[in-house]
Structures are given as structure tokens and as C-alpha cells.
Amino acid sequence: MHIRVGYELIYDCPQPTPMLLSLHIHFTRASDLVVPDHLITRPSVPITAYRDSFGNWCSRIVAPKGELRLSTDAVVNDRGERDPVVPSAHQHLVPELPEETLLFLLGSRYCETDLLSEAAWALFHTAPLGWGRVQAICDFVHQHITFGYAHARATRTAWEAFNERVGVCRDFTHLAVAFCRCMNIPARYCTGYLSDIGQPPPYSPMDFAAWFEVYLGGQWHTFDARNNSPRIGRVLIARGRDAADVALTNTFGPNTLKSFQVWTHEVSGAL
């Protein structure tokens, strides 16, 4: 299966503005790129590429004064299969965990494990260890939070989402990640493209999506508290502790986001 993915972001800057961009498809999908996701800027500006501390591919630019258009239009080869479900994946005791997973047990900017630990143990201590416990967390978060773009707030934390009970996909993900960490399950935040392939209409407006991965049974597995069902055609962009680590754009100066478009859909026929 071939999936077309891309975006167009238009900013207006009253002065030259440095930007850090996390918009490239993750290096683990590099061999799947049929048409590369080159970052195109209009007007053209110098771009410096780098890898962040989590291994994500990122870019640095200085946006000129005035309007700046950032875009890409790529094609990705995908297996066309739903997210794997592995009910037998077991939970590791903390002393058995690989060192590289330990960071994802700790609290972070948007995932306050200290505030949520008591609630997490009260809610999930009877859930079966491993896959069943993570699924119980997803079931709870999926029912607990009401989704709506009108509820979006860039500063909302997992603790606030738990109490306010509204949010968008990043809020579902932050709360589920925090609960998993409280239950000693390493969990990392993911952002990327998620199509409606295999889903019945009506379809929501397309956007970048957030989901998470947990370390069970010696490997990382995908979970999605917002949709709470295996999906087809996830295309990862970046991973981190929470949304602060994988912000699509970080701007260092005043700016206005004038337009925001994302697309991801199956490509039919020859390219």
C-alpha cells in the first residue's frame, strides 16, 4: 500500500524568527519512502538538519520577515496492516528493564506522575499485568476524556486532562502515558500521520496525530487511547517523553500561524 502524506503550514513573522522543526518522517521509516518528504520553504531559506537527543530528524531555519510557507508532499510504502495486538506481552519488573527505557518511567513536563500516582494505583492495581493493564488504561482514558478540537489547549497537562475530562489526541496520550509510568510501565509519546484508511465515514478534518508506545515483552508496542482500536497506516514523525520533546515547530519570536493543512490517504494506481 502507498500512502500520500504531507502538510502546508503558513506563518507570518513581523521580524526574522528562528525556528526548530520536527516535521520529517522518522528514520525508522526511511526505507519506506517512495517519494521523499523534503522540507520546502517559500521563500527559500537555508536549512540545517540535525538529530535531537531522541534520534528524531529535525531542521533549523530562520524565517524571514513576512509570510513563510513550509510544506512537503511525500509517499510512503506501508504494509497496510493494523497495529499489532500482542496480549501475551508481559510486563518487566523495574530491575529487569533496559537502561534506555528508564527515562520513560519518569515524570515529564506534561505527564505529572507524582500527582497521578495515587489515582493510577486505585484505578488499575487489579488489572492484569502487561498488555491487559495498558489496555485497561486506554479503555479508561478513552471513556474519561471527551474529544473536541474546541477543547484544545497547548498548556494542558495530564493532571489537568484527568480533572477537566476534555481534550484532543495529545491530552488522551499524555494521560495514558502518565498512568503507564505510574504503574511502572515505560511509555513514550509519539506524533505522526494517521489516516482514516479502513475506517467508516464520516471522517474528521485531517491533523497530525498523537499516540504512544509502551515497553512490554522486550519490545515497544503501539497504543492509542484516543481511538482505542488498532489502525492502518500510522507514519511516525517523532518520539519523546511528551509533546514538549516533539513539538512540530518551536519558534523564537512573535509569529502568527495563518494556515494549517495536513493530508494522509491511500494512493490508488501507479505513481
pLDDT digits (tens, 9 = 90+) for 219-266: 999 999 999 999 999 999 999 999 999 999 999 999 999 999 999 999
130 within 8 A of 91, measured Cβ to Cβ: yes
Q: Is the dihedral of CA 193, 72, 248, 102 positive or negative?
A: positive
70 within 8 A of 8, measured Cβ to Cβ: yes
Mean pLDDT of 43-71: 97
User: What grid cell was written down for 97?
Assistant: 528493564
Domain shared by 102 and 179, yes or no: yes
pLDDT number for residue 269: 66
Side by side, the strands of the sheet bearing 187-194 are: 219-223, 209-216, 187-194, 234-240
Domain shared by 172 and 252, yes or no: no
User: What grid cell was written down for 206?
Assistant: 485531517
Number of domains in the chain: 2
Which structural domain range is residue 136 located in? Answer: 94-240
* Distance from C-alpha of 39 to C-alpha of 41, rounded to nearest angstrom: 7
Domain shared by 137 and 187, yes or no: yes
Confidence band (pLDDT; 50, 70, 90) for 202? confident
Contacts 24+ apart (CB under 8 A), 157-163: 157/109, 157/110, 157/111, 157/112, 158/110, 158/111, 158/112, 158/116, 159/112, 159/115, 159/116, 162/116, 162/119
Domain shared by 130 and 190, yes or no: yes
In a domain, 86, yes or no: no
Domain shared by 14 and 69, yes or no: yes
Domain shared by 176 and 225, yes or no: yes
In a domain, 85, yes or no: no
Domain shared by 182 and 102, yes or no: yes
Mean pLDDT of 211-224: 98
* Distance from C-alpha of 54 to C-alpha of 52, rounded to nearest angstrom: 5
Confidence band (pLDDT; 50, 70, 90) for 78? very high
